Amino acid sequence: MINSIEVLIEPLVRTRLKSLYNELLKSNPHYAQLAIERDQYFKQLLDSIPGDLEHTLFLHKDAQISLQNIQEVKLYLQGFKDALYLNSEINL
């Protein structure tokens, strides 16, 4: 049952995370700067590697993004579960 709840909640979590990232970009200059630098470094890597490795670099980036997406959802849901647990402990 928990897995089915996670499947149902996942789109909501992704929407919330997207909103949080957008807010971070607007409100946290350090975060915004790091995001710009990350993109610049990736472009430098892409421009400096041989053509036959470009696809491998994109696969690496895709795998990193996929891993990050899984981690974000799991962490968000775990934080929600922790909050519910703490709430139940406090209200005993």
Tens digits of pLDDT across the chain (92 residues): 556 777 888 888 889 999 999 999 999 999 999 999 999 999 999 999 999 999 999 999 999 999 999 899 899 989 988 999 999 999 86
What residue segments make up the domains of the chain, in order of their start? 2-90
Distance of CA 81 to the CA centre of its chain: 19
Those residues with Cβ within 8 angstroms of residue 58's Cβ, 6 or more apart along the chain or in another chain:
none
